[in-house]
Amino acid sequence: MDFIDKELKCVDCGAAFLFTAGEQLFYHTKEFQHLPTHCKQCKVKSAIALRRPVHPVRAETRITCAQCGAETTVPFKPSQGRPVLCRSCFQKKAAAS
């Protein structure tokens, strides 16, 4: 089967892009049924938009340190009845252990 370069139109931006003979051969060997509908720039934009953030935003909870009484935030929801420490008190306690 002979493949020749084809010019296609992007469904997102309307720009013309080239569907090369090599790409057509790849599509044929993978038995893809549909022609590409997006140019490379729109594929990249779509891939970036679909990526999840590397570090998801965690909910911060305001607490009062059980040891020193300082107001601070922690990246978790404290359990009932358990003391919660600020960072400096927690580090002091960990170093003493």
Total number of residues shown for the chain: 97
Query: In sequence order, what are the residues at sequence separation of 6 or more whose Cβ sits closer than 8 angstroms to the Cβ of residue 70?
Result: 64, 86
**Structural domain count, the chain:** 2
* Per-run averaged pLDDT (10 residues), the chain, 97 residues: 92 96 95 94 89 74 93 88 91 88
Residue 50: predicted pLDDT: 83
pLDDT at position 54: 66
pLDDT on residue 68: 95
Does residue 56 form part of some domain?
no
**46 lies in the same domain as 65:** no
In a domain, 90, yes or no: yes
Do 72 and 92 reside in the same domain of the chain? Answer: yes
What is the CA 37 to chain-centroid distance, rounded?
A: 24
Residue range(s) defining the domain that contains residue 33: 6-50
In the prediction, which pLDDT does 65 show? 93
User: Is residue 55 situated within a structural domain?
Assistant: no
How does DSSP assign 32-50, residue by residue?
Answer: --S---S-HHHHHHHHHHH
Distant-in-sequence contacts of 20-26, Cβ < 8 A, 24+ apart: none
